[in-house]
A = this chain, B = another copy of it.
Amino acid sequence: MLTALSAEAEPAMAIITLTTDFGTRDGYVGAVKGVIARLAPDTTIVDIAHDIPRGDVAHAAWVVSTSCQEFPHGTIHVVVVDPGVGGARHEVIVKVVGHWFVGPDNGAFAYVAERVSDAWAIESAAFRAKRVNRTFHGRDIFAPAAAAIARGVDVTSAGPMVRLTGALPWGTRARGQGRIVHVDHYGNLVTDLPPGEAGDAVTVAGHTLPIVGTYEDVAPGELLAYVGSARTIEIAVRDGRADARLDVPRGTVVLPAAVGEPYR
């Protein structure tokens, strides 16, 4: 999803963004920031989100794909939603069109790396703490790795190149249909259906909804479909919550409505 970015100069001071499920009541976020401040002092640290639902890799993947692309080239994105920490999944650095991603290979990079990417395992001592705790790789592997990239250490020395294996439960999208891939803070249901394939209306969970422009185009409390901020079709309830109204899980299929089908 990053290929649309125009080429531009990299900023003088490295930026490291953080996306985690660490929450905002413990010391985990602070520990990661402290390591970065200590190992790469001339770095700007930017919080993306720390309240990713616990262990919800697919949620993280969508957040990353819809926010990280806005940053300048050269930005380093640390993504740690890591229920398998210390287990079988690998720790990786991924390069995608001038952006760096650092975290466990568990599917969180599935969207950003779906077209083209290079990935390296994080094995070299220069990219890890001397002593690695088995349940906090955010502090002991991913923060040091991000700091090493920020300091300009050659990423090809981090470890062998690897092929990413992390995947999302709903796999790749087939042309002409979308899936609900994200439920946001407002209860909006975000799909991966591009407007160009949706036509004038979509069907979801037995409802056929015309594509409108914005919330005020329907009455308060009504369902609507529109082109969301990710430039895909979204389903919402004006001044309400579509997740509560429809109660459908992520992965639910959303289809273009048949031409001439009456709007219900």
Given contacts A85-B215, A214-B86, contact A133 B229 (CB under 8 A): yes
Within the assembled complex, what's the spacing in Å between the Cα atoms of A186 and B136?
13
Chain B hits for A118, CB < 8 A: none
B25–A67 CB distance below 8 A = no
The residues of B that contact A44 with a CB separation of less than 8 Å are 37
Is there contact, CB below 8 Å, between B52 and A29? no
Q: Which one of A25, A26, A59 has the greatest number of beta carbons of chain B within 10 Å? A: A26
Q: How far is the CB of A57 from chain B (nearest CB, A)?
A: 13
Is the pair A231, B53 in contact by a Cβ cutoff of 8 Å? no
Total count of chain A residues near the partner, CB < 8 A: 74
Question: Contacts A27-B64, A52-B25; is A34 near B70 (CB within 8 Å)?
Answer: yes
A36 to chain B, nearest CB (A): 9
The reply on A68 being an interface residue by CB < 8 A is yes
Give the residue of B26, B84, B85 whose beta carbon is less than 8 angstroms from that of A184.
B26
* Chain B contacts for A59, CB-based, 8 A: 25
- In contact, A228 and B31 (Cβ under 8 angstroms): no
21 contacts between A and B (CB under 8 A): A11-B37, A11-B41, A13-B41, A17-B33, A25-B53, A26-B63, A27-B62, A27-B66, A28-B229, A30-B47, A30-B67, A30-B70, A34-B75, A54-B185, A86-B216, A133-B229, A134-B213, A134-B214, A134-B227, A135-B228, A136-B229
Q: A37-B75, A86-B215, A136-B229 are in contact. List 12 more A-B contacts (CB 8 A).
A: A13-B41, A17-B30, A22-B185, A26-B63, A29-B67, A31-B229, A33-B46, A33-B71, A55-B239, A70-B139, A83-B215, A83-B239
